[in-house]
Amino acid sequence: MDNKLLEIKNLKTSFRIKDDYYAAVDDVTLTVNKNEVLAIVGESGSGKSALAFSIMRLHNRAKIEGEVLFKENNIVELSPSKMNKLRGNDMAMIFQDPLTALNPLMTIEDQIGEALFLHNKKMSPKERRNKVIDLLNQVGIPRPDYTCDQFPHELSGGMRQRVMIAIAISNNPELLIADEPTTALDVTIQAQILDLIRDLKENMNAGIVLITHDLGVVAEMADRVAVMYAGEIVEIADVHTLFENPRHPYTRSLLNSVPSDGHEGKLHVIQGIVPSLKHLPRQGCRFSARMPWMDESVHEENPVLHEIAPGHHVRCTCHEHFYFPKESKEVQNDGIS
Amino acid sequence: MWKFIVRRLLIALPQILLLSVLVFLMAQMMPGDALSGLIDPNIDPAAIEAQRERLGLNDPWHIQYVDWITGVVTEGDLGRSFRYKMDVTEIIGQRLTNTFWLSLVTLIFTYLIAIPLGITSGRYNDTFRDQMITGYTYVGFATPLFIFALVALWILGFQFGWFPTGGSVSPGLTPGTFEYFLSRLHHLILPALSMALITTVNTVQYLRSEIIDTKQKDFIITARAKGASESRVYNRHILRNSLLPIAAFFGFEITGLIGGTIFVETIYSYPGMGQLFVESINLRDYSVVTAVVLLLGIASILGALLSDIILSLVDPRIRIK
pLDDT in tens, A14-27: 888 888 888 888 88
Nearest to A114 among B226, B244, B317 (CB): B226
Is A179 a residue whose pLDDT tops 80? yes
* Residues B31 and B170 occupy one common structural domain: no
Q: Name the percent of chain A in helix, strand, coil, to the closest 5.
A: 35, 25, 40
Domain membership of residue B71 as a residue range: 2-86
Residues B11, B141, single domain; the answer is no
User: Which pLDDT score is estimated for B3?
Assistant: 78
Same domain, B237 and B299: yes
State the pLDDT at residue A264: 66
Same domain as B27, residue B107: no
Residue A115, pLDDT > 90, answer yes
For residue A210, the cross-strand partners are A39, A178
Q: How confident is the model at residue A1 (pLDDT cuts 50, 70, 90)?
A: very low
Name, in order, each residue with C-beta under 8 angstroms of B43's C-beta and a sequence gap of 6 or more. Answer: none
* Domain identity same for B98 and B82: no
Among A96, A104, A98, A45, CA closest to A229: A45
Q: Write down the pLDDT at residue A335.
A: 45
Tell me, yes or no, whether B321 lies in a domain: no
Where among B58, B86, B114 does a domain terminate? B86
Percent of chain A with pLDDT over 70: 94
User: Which chain B residue shows the shortest CA-CA distance from A57?
Assistant: B225
On whether both B308 and B256 belong to a single domain, the answer is yes
CA dihedral A279, A283, A288, A294 (to 10 degrees): -140
ipTM for the assembly: 0.85
- Assess whether pLDDT exceeds 90 at residue A108: yes
Contact B225 A87 (CB under 8 A): yes
Q: B17: exposed, middle or buried (C-beta count within 10 Å: 0-12, 13-18, 19+)?
A: exposed
Please say which residue of B35, B53, B86 terminates a domain.
B86
CA distance A4 to chain B (A): 22
Residues B103, B214, single domain; the answer is yes
A300-320 pLDDT, tens per residue? 778 888 888 888 998 888 888
Task: Report whether pLDDT(A327) > 50.
Answer: yes
State residue A337's pLDDT score. 40
- CA closest to A82 among chain B residues: B227
User: Is A64 part of the contact surface with chain B (CB cutoff 8 Å)?
Assistant: no
Confidence of residue B34 (pLDDT cuts 50, 70, 90): low
Number of separate domains in chain B: 2
B25 falls within a domain: yes
What pLDDT was estimated at residue B308? 82
Phi, psi of B139 (to 5 degrees): -60, -40
Closest CA to A85 of B229, B238, B220: B229
**Together in a domain, B18 and B42:** yes
Same domain for B123 and B143?
Answer: yes
Residues A86, B223: C-beta atoms closer than 8 Å:
no
Give the phi and the psi of residue A315 in degrees, each rounded to 5. -90, 140
Is B240–A118 a contact, with Cβ atoms under 8 angstroms apart? Answer: no
Q: Are residues B181 and B230 in the same domain?
A: yes
Question: Is the Cβ pair A95, B218 closer than 8 Å?
Answer: yes
Residue that is last in its domain, among B60, B86, B112:
B86
Q: Are residues B81 and B105 in the same domain?
A: no
User: What CATH superfamily is the domain A4-222?
Assistant: P-loop containing nucleotide triphosphate hydrolases (3.40.50.300)
Say if B320 falls within a structural domain: no
- Whether residue B272 is found in the same domain as residue B228: yes
pLDDT at B160 over 50: yes
Which residue of B lies nearest to A110 if distances are taken between CA atoms?
A: B236
User: What pLDDT does B315 receive?
Assistant: 80
Domains of chain A, residue spans: 4-222, 229-320
Predicted confidence (pLDDT) per residue in A245-287, tens digit: 888 888 888 888 877 766 666 777 787 777 787 777 777 788 8
For the domain that residue B281 is a member of, what is the CATH number?
1.10.3720.10
B280 compared with A93, residue with greater pLDDT: A93
The answer to whether B211 and B122 are in contact (CB under 8 A) is yes
Rounded CA-CA distance A276/A187 in Å is: 30
Q: Which 8-state DSSP code applies to residue B60?
A: -
